Chains A and B, each alone.
Chain A
Amino acid sequence: MEYLKKYPKLFQWLFLLIVFFALCFAIDVPETYKFIRGQAEFVKDPNQSVYFFLGKEVRYYAFDVFWRLPPLLGWLPIWINDSLFFLMNEWMPMEFWNEDTQEFKTRPLLLEISRNLTSFMTFLIELIREILLGGLETIVAFTSWDFIDAYPWLELPGLPWTIVAAGAAILSYKLSGKGLALFAGLTMIYISIFGQWKPSMQTLSFILVAAPLSFIFGLGLGIAAYKSKRVEKALYPILLVMQTMPQYAVLVPALVLFGVGDHAAVIITMVVAVPPMILLTILGLRAIPPEVIEAGRMSGCTNWQLMFKVLIPTARRDILIGVNQVIMVCFSMAVISAFIGAKGLGFNLLLALNQLNIGLALEAGLCISLIAILLDKMSLAWANKQTDYFGNLTFFQRNKNVIFFAASFVIGIILAYVGTFIFKGSFNYLFEIPHNKGISTADFWNKGVDWIFDTFFVYIKAFNTWLIQDVLQPMRALYLRMPAVATLVLAVGAGYLIGGIRSALVVAALTLFIALSPWWDRALVTLYMATFGVVISCLIGFTVGTLCFQNKKSAAFMLGVCDIFQTFPSFVYLIPVMMLFGITDTSVLIAVIVYATIPATRYTIEGLRSVPVGLHEAATMSGVNKFQRLTKIEFPLAFPHMMLGLNQTIVFALFMVIIGAFIGTEDLGQYILKALSDKNGAGIGLTLGICVAFIGLIFDNLIRTWVGKRKKHLGIA
């Protein structure tokens, strides 16, 4: 009884667990239950039950409601799908002027908007692409095909790679200095020599359109939300869902709305990249001290000046993190959107992975990562750049970068011209090294993979078998063994114990949505893979973070490593694990663990760092040793921040699990992938995406509520 009074929470949790397990044991597995057949497949089977809702027929395998809820939301994907088609093809037909046929044509409004939007995007992408690679689409856009036939010399020739490389190096030098310039030059040379020039420039042109557009939209909407509470309230739920929505899932609806190609990829990328930008813009603007705003006002700023000369520069740290995120997402999407026909490195990467050509995949992956790191560093340097008012510089000094670029431009053209003589009849290596005609290390890597397989096959296989048979399969069975009612009770109970009625209701709504969708079993499988990944990631991340924190240098080093790893597009992580473990769940899980360890480590270090110095000194003066200080002072105080790390870890893990469907797992991701090639997949893809987002949001809600309370309790809110 005394304990009960002392730790009431503990006993409440115990009670919850007892109820949960009691329910698990009380409800038997129905004899007809088989994992796969638990789904509402859209095939007819006499054993299925049927119901009609809003004129949609939903078929499913019925079980005891305590075991699995019937998919009462099964009509939702079909309905979303039909609505999309209706909006695109029938809604609001209007007369539009058609340039090609010179007459008015009747078209649905949304289709016309989508067409105009996509042609605008296509124009932007082609413009940059043709400056880098040459082509005639841009000229055609302004004139016509007949015109270009008459004047064929108008075709843009494209820049020789030497000029682009020199340009990148000079720009980096201007922005940051020698180090970055060297890195930029080497990256470009590497890309060129290894024959990845064309796909790289295609990817780059895609990103040079998507990233600035995402930045502008994100910043704009962020400012709007900062200025108006109503806008913020309207945006908030969308932002929340988008934060945890796997990028895969947005692909399918976009396919319906915008078709296939680079333009659709840009729009999709914006959809994914804008939300974090908005959130960080709001965060940054909110954190500005009120006196700085007043100082701006008293200096006589107009609203416009106040925003762009005072507020945004003052909030630039957070806005920069936003830019960083935008670039990260863009590269990640550059790969993923290859599924809907975006050209470039991503496409090559997917192709290589599909053919199990690990060497090629590695080269493409390395190129993407290098460009990602380069752009990331350049944007950072650009934002931190200062102007010097007191340099009495000569004309040459002031314009040296322009002069150098002009010089390298001329030299590049001369080199390319000379190249036409040297490489007569073959490829002009001084102009552009064609794809797969450069040096390739693919064979080397492939042989390496073969060697690893030959040499370590037994051990890898043994490890693989052990992991799958003795760990993963039982764990999966356990997750699937949970009756729906028991899971609901556990989730809602946890919500109530952590955040009271409000949290309980939110969690209940989110869980019910998933339980009533046709994919509850798949969601459980997703959850099991994510749980496994998160547990291991946190173990590694918390340990590594704590160890690195013991020394200032190693902590800074580790954060740097996290930065670089975070810049890699998520798909790249699949390459090395496939090298080692082939196409198995193990591969996916290891990729999940590597990917999700990043936030776990980062937040641990940051959390421990944020413990006030005064407390350190107070602890030292009370005579604690290092270990005691860690356990008694640092961990309890850093714990809330570390829990936010856990939150991120869960989101990262979920993303990777979904991407892992590419390798072939049986979770929700597999269905999203399937939906991509399904004519009616838009609704399914979106609903699945929402399901995954909701899994993330359940944990997000619980963890954030707990952290908020805990921080208040500790007085560090």
Chain B
Amino acid sequence: MSETVIKCESVYKIFGENAKKMLEESNGNVDAKTFQEKGCIVGVNNASFEVAKGEMLVVMGLSGSGKSTLLRCISRLTDATGGKIFIEGQDLLELNNKELIELRRNKMGMVFQSFALLPHKTVVENIAFPLQIKGTNTQESISRAMEMVKLVGLDGRENYFPRELSGGQQQRVGIARSLAVEPDIWFLDEPFSALDPLIRKEMQDEFLRLQEKLQKTIMFITHDFDEALKLADRIAIMKDGIIEQLDTPANIVLNPATEYVRKFTEEVPREKVLIIEDVMDTSSKDNLGDLKVSKDEIIENVAEKILTQEKLVGVVDSSNNIVGSIKPSKIIDTVFGGRKNGS
């Protein structure tokens, strides 16, 4: 794995008056129920993970699972009650106000569920806002903002007010605003949850296109498991403030760690999520048929071809070396069978 950008070590966020003291007394063994009896609500419970440069970590959880709170701890919109957070090696909780503002002005961008646009500013003014806050002069900030307007495809609407735009368009403004300062770290808090399904799909595709181009380090919050599977490099699934499982989409689908995670994976169409590499057999590389498939293909795309074969199908990597094989029956097995016992 390459350079670590975000690193969390046993992060806790507990709301309530004596939160700090109670956390110290509990020695890291936080039980939500006993805390609640004493008037404290546990938001994030012992979260530890790392995000590498250019990686997209999607945090998935239902409402109240603490996913937004976790994000706000890492952006330090709220202060974590316990634990350590490092941003590019800097201890986030040790930063003073000035350093924190510098960090936000240059390194971080955030997109919000309700868009959070400033109602009194036009599209282009909203996008230029973080630049102007930094002290960039008007002309430069506006011309940079105009570039962002083009990037998110809002040309011609730069002088509209947020209230004159549709939800999807407003979120494009939100995205453009968060990217205006060219941040390295990009936080997205349920950015597409307030949008219609069709618009949401369109925005997801566009988001992937953007990310391919920009290669930011991303923390993406969502309550939509399909969205997580579609976008994520790795997924963290949260429940009651605890990260239940943190792994690649394929591993989560194939090996759900807990009963809670398994419930989500049950209805997932695996052929759309898994790639050949996830199900191939690396031990037998002999007796292959004529057909070769790439290990990075999504199963759905090659299933039909493989199923017409009778012999083993060879799996190749990007330089065309054979790295494994796959039986046609394995495809059927993956798609239809073995749901109850893993795979």
Contacts and interface: CB of A to CB of B under 8 A. Distances in A.
Interface stretch (A98-106, A289-297, A356-364, A690-698): A289-297
Interface in B64-105: 72, 75, 77, 101-102, 104-105
B209 interface: no
A514 to B, nearest CB: 41
B113 A291 contact: yes
Interface string A374-416: 0000000000001011100000000000000000000000000
A115 B187 CA distance: 57
Contacts of A305: 133
B112 A300 contact: no
A385 to B, nearest CB: 10
Contacts of B340: none
A316 B124 contact: no
B101 A302 contact: yes
A298 B177 CA distance: 11
Contacts of A386: 122
B104 A299 contact: yes
A314 interface: yes
Question: Most chain-B Cβ atoms within 10 A of its Cβ — which of A289, A291, A302, A386?
Answer: A291
Interface in B100-158: 101-102, 104-106, 108-110, 112-122, 124-125, 129-130, 133-134, 138, 142, 158
Given A294-B110, A386-B122, A299 B130 contact: yes
By secondary structure, the B interface counts as mixed
A309 B130 CA distance: 11
B133 A298 contact: no
Contacts of A295: 110, 112, 116-118, 174, 177
Interface string B171-191: 000100110010000010000
Contacts of B105: 299-300
Given A295-B110, A299-B129, A390-B159, A313 B142 contact: no
Nearest to A289: B114
Contact of B101 (A291, A301, A313, A314): A301
Given A300-B104, A301-B101, A389-B138, A291 B112 contact: yes
Nearest to A316: B120
A310 interface: yes
B118 A310 contact: yes
Nearest to B130: A299
A298 B110 contact: yes
Contact of B124 (A289, A291, A309, A389): A389
Interface residues of B, number: 37
A45 B64 CA distance: 75
A375 to B, nearest CB: 22
Contacts of A300: 101-102, 104-106, 130, 133-134, 181
Contacts of B124: 389
Contacts of A389: 124-125, 138, 142
Question: Most chain-A Cβ atoms within 10 A of its Cβ — which of B101, B106, B138?
Answer: B101
A145 B129 CA distance: 53
A301 B118 contact: no
Contact of A298 (B104, B115, B121): B104
A379 to B, nearest CB: 16
B67 to A, nearest CB: 15
B179 to A, nearest CB: 12
A362 to B, nearest CB: 41
A313 B118 contact: yes
Contacts of B114: 289, 291
B192 to A, nearest CB: 15
A301 B133 contact: yes
B116 A292 contact: yes
Contacts of A289: 114, 116
Question: Most chain-B Cβ atoms within 10 A of its Cβ — which of A299, A300, A305, A313?
Answer: A299
B77 A294 contact: yes
B133 A299 contact: yes
Given A299-B129, A309-B133, A314 B119 contact: yes
Contact of A297 (B104, B115, B120): B104
Interface of A: 289, 291-292, 294-295, 297-302, 305, 309-310, 313-314, 316, 386, 388-390
11 contacts: A292-B116, A292-B118, A294-B110, A294-B112, A298-B104, A298-B110, A305-B133, A309-B133, A386-B122, A389-B138, A390-B159
The 3 A-B residue pairs with the shortest CB-CB distance, nearest first, are: A300-B105, A295-B116, A299-B130
Given A298-B77, A299-B129, A300-B104, 4 more contacts: A298-B178, A299-B104, A299-B105, A309-B129
